[in-house]
Structure 1
Amino acid sequence: MSENTFEAIPEVKLDNGRFKYVLIKVHDKADPNRSKLIVRGSASAAYHADIYEKEMCKIESISGLETECLGGGRIIHNPDCAEIKVFGYSQGYGQADHSKAVEILKRNFPDYKSITWSNEGY
């Protein structure tokens, strides 16, 4: 697996509105110390597993990569107000570390005025 392939995986893919999200760890089978965290959220997903399984199939089809779901929650993404709120948990995967998800979101949405998280709610 080339360095470019690994780095080409986007850190964030989000819809607009309120939806479920998962925090995924992608790592190199040949070098387990080489990994990155990615955030995926979808308004069309009924379950957190729907989001993870779709991404897992895409990423693991790339030779040499594996994924692990680190948990989930919910996101409210309002691009018109430049705001993202991360909260809640996944019944199937448990609660993601929302602080890590927010770090990733802040890198990818530097112009947003508010990106926050809370462990409250579902």
Structure 2
Amino acid sequence: MAVLNKISDVAVDPDGEFKYILVRVKVKGGTDHKDVVRGTRSAKYHNQIFEKVSPAVESLGLECTCLGGGKMEHNSKEKKLRVFGESTGYGKADHAVTVEKLKAVFKDYEITME
């Protein structure tokens, strides 16, 4: 399980509206796993985020699966995060799981989902 701790639970851009994905990272051949959130304005499509995450995860000897996607609106000045929408290719991520992950990192934020 220690190798899973090397991967941060949340990595999202500090400001703007952007696509995000929920990814299950798993120990190869094992049952240990955790779900992580990744989002960036540089990705025009959800699969572009996964294409960056997957090799980084695999280099640690882990495997990953995209559980779905959506959009996020992040306003670091007002300390607000809004989770909404879905991915055409991966389907809708479980926004409730995403919000719980975000709350653990952005403790003093107002976090909503639609």
Q: TM-score, normalised by structure 1?
A: 0.89
Quote the offset at 1:95 in angstroms: 0.4
Q: Which has the higher strand share?
A: 2
Identity of aligned residues (%): 45
1:68-95 CA distance string (max 9 Å, x none) = 0000000000010010000000000000
2:6 and 2:76 mapped to 1: Cα distance? 24
Task: Report the count of equivalent residues.
Answer: 113
Matches within 5 A, 1:30-49: 30-31=29-30, 33-49=31-47
SS at match of 2:67: strand
The one-letter code matched in structure 2 to 1:87 is: F
The one-letter code matched in structure 1 to 2:70 is: G
When the two chains are superposed, the root-mean-square deviation of aligned CA atoms in Å is 0.9
2:35 and 2:64 mapped to 1: Cα distance? 10
Aligned twin of 2:51: 53
Aligned twin of 2:23: 24
Quote the offset at 1:6 in angstroms: 1.5
1:46 and 1:84 mapped to 2: Cα distance? 20
Gaps of 5+ in 1: none
Matches within 5 A, 1:36-115: 36-63=34-61, 65-112=62-109, 114-115=110-111
The one-letter code matched in structure 2 to 1:12 is: V
- Structure 1 stretches of 4+ with a deviation exceeding 4 A read none
Work out whether 1:12 is the aligned partner of 2:19: no
1:35 and 1:28 mapped to 2: Cα distance? 6
1:108 and 1:6 mapped to 2: Cα distance? 17
